[in-house]
Amino acid sequence: MRRPRLLAGLAGLALTAGLLAGALPAGAAEPAPAPAAARTQAAAASYTWKNVRVDGGGFVPGLVFNRTEKNLLYARTDIGGAYRWDQAGSAWVPLLDHIGWDDWGHTGVVSLASDTADPDRVYAAVGTYTNDWDPGTGAVLRSADRGATWRRADLPFKLGGNMPGRGMGERLAVDPHDNRILYLGAPSGNGLWRSTDSGATWAKVTSFTNPGGYQQDPTDTSGYNSDEQGIVWVTFDESTGTGTGTGATATKTIYVGVGDKENAVYRSTDAGATWTRLAGQPTGYLAHKGVLDAENGYLYLAYSDTAGPYDGGKGRVYRYATATGEWKDISPVAEADTYHGFSGLTVDRQHPGTVMVSAYSSWWPDTQIFRTTDSGSTWTKAWDYSSYPTRSNRYTMDVSSVPWLTWGGNPAPPEQAPKLGWMTEALEIDPFDSNRMLYGTGATVYGTTELTKWDANTNFTIRPMVKGLEETAVLDLVSPPSGAPLISALGDVGGFRHTDLGAVPPMMFTSPNFTSTTSLDYAETKPDVLVRSGHLDGGPRVAFSTDNGANWFAGQEPAGVTGGGTVAAAADGGRFVWSPEGTAGVHAATGHGTSWTASAGIPAGATVESDRVDPKTFYGFKDGTFYASVDGGLTFTAKATGLPAKGNVRFKAVPGKKGDVWLAGGAPDAAYGLWHSTDGGATFTKVSGVDQADAIGFGKAAPNASYPALYSSAKIGGVRGVFRSTDAGATWVRVNDDAHQWGWTGATITGDPRVYGRVYVATNGRGIIYGDTSETGGGDDGGTGPGTPPAGACKVAYKITNQWQGGFQADVTVTNTSTTAWNGWTLGWTFAAGQTVGQMWNATPAQTGTAVTAKNAGWNGTVAPGGSASFGFTGGWTGTNPAPAAFTLGGATCSAA
């Protein structure tokens, strides 16, 4: 499996730096109320909103258990908001979807705190970047109903949920006794801050004088890696306070971690009035975590030589005796043997002598997790070498619920797929259950409910515990008229073919695996033909599919390509135009990219799209000028000018209407809005009433309408939101509401050509959101409709496409060999060796004992004579894994293909 170079957090960095800088209005301290007319209009469309399931996809740097209420657990992400665990549903509930466009930076969460004295209260320190990429300042959000609603206290400085060091913490903490008192560690030289009114107001702690000046890279002129780390964690010694609520005595002893390699840990013994550097502490490292075992009087510290979360070459683990001041190096391995830093520090509150810590920056061959049951005297490892390169694992990875976590890889030992993890800075043992442990990685949340088997050297199972937590940065989306309802281009995990919106796709795009897919397109009249472009070290950075995205193959690329750029497919799938990043410039190709010809008349870096009717017509745009080609992209001619020359501009051509183009974009201090052309870009008319627009897409026309429904992430009538027009832009209705805003939604948007009212919205960290309307003609089951079993002959091809210890993946194709069409189908078989079906896509599974049935999805139930339908699934096996001996369909026995 490849090393995932860009994870969701870094994708957020690249996306925000590249797409948002200069494009968004500065965030106001408190957004102004929307005009009454706009609010009335917003209520006109009734929508429900869900995530298109991917499950995970980005870095989870923090997990916070409440220590007085069982199963109360929160997660923070670097660009995708915060979540609360729903024990009954075994899923995460998003808490910050209300954050709007102007405050998009508040979707980055640098720290969370759950109040132990009043578990209904939770706090989030929010802000994405401390440099000028984020135009707003940071804030502390406070909730008295577990994140259902929030109030906000603005800060006079920025916070960095997606900055270096974001895995350290927690920087925000509530006094466990007097819960009116909170502390916040600030970056960028701003020091330590305190609130004495439950987070409503904040003031600097002037007696704390070390602001934490460590910089990851002082030479970085962008201000990203050169930002000062500041105060990185706060830990209360609960044994030094009394009571809760009225009459409580504030906690006297508080420990603070500082971004300073020589002075990393400070203590106050007078409730924060004065502070002293702990004497005798180790130097040369940053303390990523400081976790206190008050019962035994130990402060444990995990150190690294850098701030992380990607890097760290050396590290140590120390134990500080709070009563005597003794420091003891309890590192699991000798310093000479470390090639990583330590983080992910946790104490088992049921058995405080049990401590775990992670080698968070060990990328190859895998991360490592260490465990001690004797306060650090001896340690064991999650895995070790039995005989290099063979590994002996204490655990089994079961990713059948999120099978793409293997990355489609089959690595050579000692690497394994799936990996135990990477960037493992968040690791927590449930304070009420010693068997339950969760940890965050750069792509998911893993966990186990069998942790104590570790100590008996008995194999325990680790599974994704990430359902509901969607943290992808969405770069492009298409909804073809046939095949899968949605195909996505995502940061870090590449993208997926979504055949069932409510199910996790089995695998991201492979052959090749792009680190991020920047652009994709399908041929309008031949939608099984797709093209995508993206980032990949060393290339190739363009790929093609002829089966609606189920399988891909790489194309060639011209010299000078450094990144994906944008790509377009001709309406008939016979030509392609690519505008990659780098010095190559725009190129055109016939066939599937086996050779490319430089396009004339269009500047390098232009955005390219295709006409959806004429296969020889392509369009381009850059710096306020629109371009068109009528010879398959070989030559372009400048057409309309005077379009937005600043900010981000995106445009699309309307399916079924030659020369019909919509263009959205601009900047607040220049031209900004929505434009329409009906003559192939020769002229454009600005759409009146649209103040700002950043993305445009098309969906199925409204009942009794002939023009496709339009969807836009826009500002209309002074209100920011997701809007729909059913009359070619004459009028608009807001379809989202103030509770569903998802920060920045300007990358791309598309309707569904098969379902009226359905819209797919791209977010920068909250994954793909889709909305369905209850209006007439809107909504369906997302691909799980009923079917009627057919009668007639059939043929089945069953293929195991991937197999690992205890698990496998299979693809099945059933062909109609009769002379009549099927209207729904159910395929049955028996597993001879007791195999089990896990997750299934493109069909609905049922299993009783060894008997299995697969029922068609809502969109693939009709199969013409000679036609076929395909589905796939993951399964489990022990011993052997033979293919089924026979298949039946509608009472008929199928032949083998």
Which amino acid is it at 712? S
Closest CA to 255 of 195, 242, 238, 243: 238
492 is catalytic: yes
CA gap 8, 15 in Å, rounded: 10
| Catalytic member of 78, 227, 293, 660 | 78
154 is catalytic: no
Query: DSSP character for 16?
Result: I
Question: Residue 852 has which token pair?
Answer: 């299995």
Closest CA to 684 of 726, 633, 635, 621: 621
Question: Residue 371 has which token pair?
Answer: 């465990």
**Over the Cα atoms of the chain, what is R_g?**
28
3-state secondary structure 614-649: CCCCEEEEECCEEEEECCCCCECEECCCCCCCCCEE
Which amino acid is it at 721? G
Closest CA to 54 of 483, 440, 489: 489
Block residue for tokens 């089994």: 396
Residues 739 and 716: beta-carbon distance below 8 Å: no
CA gap 722, 558 in Å, rounded: 38
What 3-state class would DSSP assign to 107? helix
CA gap 261, 286 in Å, rounded: 5
Residues 182 and 173: beta-carbon distance below 8 Å: yes
Q: Is the peptide bond before 352 cis (omega within 30 degrees of 0)?
A: no
With vertex at residue 360, the alpha carbon angle to CA 354 and CA 362, rounded to the nearest 5 degrees, is 120
| Catalytic member of 115, 260, 366, 492 | 492
Measured CA to CA in angstroms, residue 162 lies from 61, 109, 372, 492 at distances of 10, 8, 32, 15
CB atoms within 10 A of CB 548: 18
Question: Residue 21 has which token pair?
Answer: 């800088």
CA gap 645, 624 in Å, rounded: 4
Q: How do strand 851-856 and strand 843-848 relate by DSSP bridges? A: antiparallel
Q: How far apart are the first and last CA of the chain?
A: 32
Measured CA to CA in angstroms, residue 362 lies from 49, 410, 420 at distances of 38, 20, 11
CA gap 361, 342 in Å, rounded: 8
In the β-sheet with 690-699, what is the strand arrangement from edge to edge?
Answer: 690-699, 709-716, 719-725, 733-734
CA gap 474, 615 in Å, rounded: 28
Block residue for tokens 């979504």: 498
Question: Residue 739 has which token pair?
Answer: 């509770």
DSSP one-letter string for 809-877: EEEEEEEE-SSS-EES-EEEEE-TT--EEEEEESEEEEEETTEEEEEE-TTS-EE-TT-EEEEEEEEE-
Q: How many CA atoms lie within 13 A of 353 on its CB side?
A: 6
Which amino acid is it at 484? A
Residues 682 and 640: beta-carbon distance below 8 Å: yes
Residues 325 and 382: beta-carbon distance below 8 Å: no
CA gap 890, 888 in Å, rounded: 7
User: What amino acid positions are annotated as catalytic residues?
Assistant: 78, 492
